[in-house]
Amino acid sequence: MKSLKEQLLQAGLKATPNPKAQNEREAISKKKITETIIHQEQRNFCEECQQVRPDVELYYHRNPTTEAEWICVKCADRLKIADSFRQTAQSDTSIKRMFRREHGATRPADEFKSVKPQKTKTEVNGNR
């Protein structure tokens, strides 16, 4: 004696797909995502004044009044952080050669290594 399931399959009825299987997504680890997708090529958020500015650069400074590292020109001048502490030339103003400091000398953009990301943008899976 055959089971009911085997009899229905023999009669030509097919099993319907599980509706939950349509909603299941491919499991992607967070490490894999950050290695393959470039989230932000340029930083433009000033950690000091909490604003989006076109002249934000990375400063490794010794100023005890702030812990911010990504600082705009206005805040760097106000905090009297010398341009010798600047580590990047990645902002829109420095790319267009319009980056100018009011506090002390401005380092030219040629002194900074232009590091282009080696990873290319890959196809993004929208089901994550």
Give domain status of residue 14, yes or no: no
Give me the domain span that covers residue 99. 45-106
Give domain status of residue 51, yes or no: yes
* pLDDT attached to residue 127: 56
**Tally of domains in the chain:** 1
Give domain status of residue 75, yes or no: yes
Which of the two residues, 34 and 110, has the higher pLDDT score?
110
> What is the reported pTM?
0.57
Write the burial class of residue 78 (CB in 10 Å: 0-12 exposed, 13-18 middle, 19+ buried). Answer: middle
Could you read off the pLDDT of 19-68 as tens digits, one per residue? 776 677 777 666 655 555 555 578 899 999 999 999 999 999 999 999 99
* pLDDT attached to residue 41: 72
* pLDDT attached to residue 56: 93
Is residue 75 within 8 Å of residue 49, measured between CB atoms? yes
